[in-house]
Structure 1
Amino acid sequence: MGREYLDFDVAVTREGQGYAARVLASPAGEASAPFTLPFTATDLAQFMVAVGPPRVVSRRLVPAEARVVDVKEYGRRLGDALLGGDVGRAFRDSLAAAGDQGRDLRLRLRLDAVPDLDPVPWEYLYDSRLGRFLTLSQETPVVRLIDSLERPPVVTVDAPLRVLVMVSSPSDLPQLAVDREEQLLRATTGDLLASGRLTITVLDDATLTGLQRALLDDYHVFHFIGHGGFDQQAQEGVLVLEREDGTAHRVSGSRLGTLLHDARTMQLAVLNACEGARTSGRDAFSGVGQALARQGLPAVVAMQTEISDRAALVFSHEFYWFLTRGLGIDAAMCEVRKAMAVSDEASEWGTAVLLRSGAEQPFSFTAGAAAADDCPESRLESLYDAARGAIKADAPATALPMLEQIASQRPDYLDVTQLLERVRPAVQPEPATRPETVAAVPETVAAVPETRPRTRPVETGPGPSPTSGRQDRQRRKRPIGTWVRATVLVVVLVGCWLAWRVLPTLLQKADPLVSAACGSSAATPGTTDLVIGCAPIAPTVDGSFDDWRSVPEHDVDAAVFGAANRRAGLTGTWQALWDGEALYLHAVVTDPVVTTAEGAAAQWWNGDAVSFEIGPDARALSRTAALRKGQDFHVILALRDGTDRRAAADVNTVGPSPKGKPVFATGAERPEISVVARLRDGGYELEARVPWSAVGRTVAPQRGDVLAMNVDVSDAKGSGADWTLRTMLSSNPQRTGPNQPLPARWQSVTLGDSG
Structure 2
Amino acid sequence: MSSGKDIEYELIVESYDIVRFRNRKTDAQSSGHLNLAPICRKIARFENLLRAKQLKSREAFEEFGKLLYQCLFNGAVDNAFRELLKEIRESKRTGNNKWYRLQLTFRQEVDDLASIPWEFLYYPDTHTTNGFFLVDEPYLAISRYIPSDSGRDTLNVRGELLKFLVVASQPEEEGMGKVLPNRIIEVINNLKNNYLIDLTILENPKRQELQETIDNTKPHILHYIGHGRFDSQKQVGEIALVNSAKKADWVSDRTFGDFFRDFQPRLVILQACQGGEVDFTANYAGLAPQLTRREIPAVIAMQYPICNAVASFFSESFYLALAKGESVDTAMQQSRMKIVRNHPWNPEFYTNRDFGTPVLYMSARNGYIMPRPKAIKFDAEVLRNSPDELEKAINILFNSEELANIVFGLRLSYKDINGETQQEKVKSLIDQLIKENDIESLVEEIKECQPESFTDYR
SS in 2 for 1:312: helix
In structure 1, the residue matched to 2:142 is: 142
Q: Give me the whole-angstrom Cα distance separating, in 1, the residues matched to 2:192 and 2:74.
A: 46
Q: Give me the whole-angstrom Cα distance separating, in 2, the residues matched to 1:206 and 1:170.
A: 10
Q: Give me the whole-angstrom Cα distance separating, in 2, the residues matched to 1:307 and 1:211.
A: 24
* Residues 364/175 of structure 1: CA separation in 2 closer, same or farther (3 Å cut): closer
In structure 1, the residue matched to 2:133 is: 133
In structure 2, the residue matched to 1:70 is: 60
In structure 2, the residue matched to 1:329 is: 328
Alignment match of 2:48 (pick from 41, 45, 50): 45
Q: Give me the whole-angstrom Cα distance separating, in 1, the residues matched to 2:387 and 2:158.
A: 24
Structure 1 portions without partners, runs of 5+: 53-60, 62-66, 280-286, 379-408, 410-755
Alignment match of 1:345 (pick from 328, 348, 355): 348
Alignment match of 2:114 (pick from 118, 134, 139): 118
Please list, as runs of the form range in 1=range in 2, the aligned pairs for 1:562-577 lying within 5 A after superposition: none
Does residue 1:177 correspond to 2:174, yes or no? no
Q: Please give the per-residue CA displacement for 1:143-181, whole angstroms capped at 9, x wherever unaligned.
A: 111122225554247776432122233456755525xx2
Contact 1:223 1:271 in 2 (8 A): yes
Q: Please give the per-residue CA displacement for 1:569-620, whole angstroms capped at 9, x wherever unaligned.
A: xxxxxxxxxxxxxxxxxxxxxxxxxxxxxxxxxxxxxxxxxxxxxxxxxxxx
In terms of fraction of residues, the more helix-rich structure is: 2
Q: What is the one-letter code of the residue matched to 2:68? A: L
Q: Sequence identity of aligned pairs in percent?
A: 26
Alignment match of 1:108 (pick from 96, 103, 108): 103
Q: Please report how far the alpha carbon of residue 79 of structure 1 lies from its aligned counterpart in structure 2 after TM superposition.
A: 2.4
SS in 2 for 1:92: helix
SS in 2 for 1:155: coil
Contact 1:340 1:349 in 2 (8 A): yes
Q: Give me the whole-angstrom Cα distance separating, in 2, the residues matched to 1:238 and 1:115.
A: 19
* Residues 372/296 of structure 1: CA separation in 2 closer, same or farther (3 Å cut): farther
In structure 1, the residue matched to 2:369 is: 363
Q: Give me the whole-angstrom Cα distance separating, in 2, the residues matched to 1:251 and 1:186.
A: 24
Contact 1:241 1:248 in 2 (8 A): yes
* Residues 171/124 of structure 1: CA separation in 2 closer, same or farther (3 Å cut): closer
Contact 1:109 1:145 in 2 (8 A): yes
Q: Give me the whole-angstrom Cα distance separating, in 2, the residues matched to 1:322 and 1:342.
A: 16
SS in 1 for 2:200: strand
Structure 2 portions without partners, runs of 5+: 273-278, 390-426, 428-458
Contact 2:43 2:68 in 1 (8 A): no
SS in 1 for 2:7: strand
Q: What is the one-letter code of the residue matched to 2:58? A: V
In structure 2, the residue matched to 1:82 is: 72
Contact 2:230 2:283 in 1 (8 A): no
* Residues 93/46 of structure 1: CA separation in 2 closer, same or farther (3 Å cut): same
Q: What is the one-letter code of the residue matched to 2:295? A: G
Q: What is the one-letter code of the residue matched to 1:256? A: F
Q: Give me the whole-angstrom Cα distance separating, in 2, the residues matched to 1:30 and 1:14.
A: 16
Q: What is the one-letter code of the residue matched to 2:226? A: G
Q: Please give the per-residue CA displacement for 1:311-337, whole angstroms capped at 9, x wherever unaligned.
A: 334212101111111100010011101
Q: Give me the whole-angstrom Cα distance separating, in 2, the residues matched to 1:2 and 1:369.
A: 21
> May I ask how many residue pairs the two structures share in their alignment?
352
* Residues 228/183 of structure 1: CA separation in 2 closer, same or farther (3 Å cut): closer
* Residues 233/48 of structure 1: CA separation in 2 closer, same or farther (3 Å cut): closer
In structure 2, the residue matched to 1:267 is: 266
Please list, as runs of the form range in 1=range in 2, the aligned pairs for 1:609-620 lying within 5 A after superposition: none
Worse-matched range after superposition: 138-147 or 330-339: 138-147
In structure 1, the residue matched to 2:296 is: 297
In structure 2, the residue matched to 1:223 is: 223
Contact 2:239 2:253 in 1 (8 A): yes
In structure 2, the residue matched to 1:354 is: 360
Q: Please report how far the alpha carbon of residue 87 of structure 1 lies from its aligned counterpart in structure 2 after TM superposition.
A: 0.6
Contact 1:303 1:352 in 2 (8 A): yes
Does residue 1:252 correspond to 2:258, yes or no? no
Q: Please give the per-residue CA displacement for 1:447-481, whole angstroms capped at 9, x wherever unaligned.
A: xxxxxxxxxxxxxxxxxxxxxxxxxxxxxxxxxxx
Q: Give me the whole-angstrom Cα distance separating, in 1, the residues matched to 2:120 and 2:376.
A: 32
Contact 2:327 2:368 in 1 (8 A): yes
* Residues 102/168 of structure 1: CA separation in 2 closer, same or farther (3 Å cut): closer
Q: What is the one-letter code of the residue matched to 2:69? A: G
Q: Please report how far the alpha carbon of residue 289 of structure 1 lies from its aligned counterpart in structure 2 after TM superposition.
A: 0.9
Q: Give me the whole-angstrom Cα distance separating, in 2, the residues matched to 1:31 and 1:74.
A: 25
* Residues 50/197 of structure 1: CA separation in 2 closer, same or farther (3 Å cut): farther
* Residues 75/148 of structure 1: CA separation in 2 closer, same or farther (3 Å cut): same
Please list, as runs of the form range in 1=range in 2, the aligned pairs for 1:355-754 lying within 5 A after superposition: 355-366=361-372, 368=373
Q: Please give the per-residue CA displacement for 1:488-530, whole angstroms capped at 9, x wherever unaligned.
A: xxxxxxxxxxxxxxxxxxxxxxxxxxxxxxxxxxxxxxxxxxx
Q: Please give the per-residue CA displacement for 1:526-580, whole angstroms capped at 9, x wherever unaligned.
A: xxxxxxxxxxxxxxxxxxxxxxxxxxxxxxxxxxxxxxxxxxxxxxxxxxxxxxx
* Residues 337/205 of structure 1: CA separation in 2 closer, same or farther (3 Å cut): closer
Contact 1:270 1:300 in 2 (8 A): yes
User: TM-score, normalization: structure 1?
Assistant: 0.41
Q: What is the one-letter code of the residue matched to 1:334? A: Q
Q: Give me the whole-angstrom Cα distance separating, in 1, the residues matched to 2:340 and 2:98.
A: 24
* Residues 342/369 of structure 1: CA separation in 2 closer, same or farther (3 Å cut): farther
Contact 2:157 2:220 in 1 (8 A): no
Q: Give me the whole-angstrom Cα distance separating, in 2, the residues matched to 1:358 and 1:336.
A: 20
Q: Give me the whole-angstrom Cα distance separating, in 1, the residues matched to 2:229 and 2:3.
A: 36
Q: Give me the whole-angstrom Cα distance separating, in 2, the residues matched to 1:6 and 1:356.
A: 16
Contact 1:109 1:143 in 2 (8 A): yes
Q: What is the one-letter code of the residue matched to 2:48? A: A
Q: Give me the whole-angstrom Cα distance separating, in 2, the residues matched to 1:196 and 1:87.
A: 43
Q: Please give the per-residue CA displacement for 1:619-655, whole angstroms capped at 9, x wherever unaligned.
A: xxxxxxxxxxxxxxxxxxxxxxxxxxxxxxxxxxxxx
Q: Please report how far the alpha carbon of residue 356 of structure 1 lies from its aligned counterpart in structure 2 after TM superposition.
A: 0.9
Contact 2:68 2:122 in 1 (8 A): yes
Greater relative CO (CA pairs within 8 A, separation 6+): 2
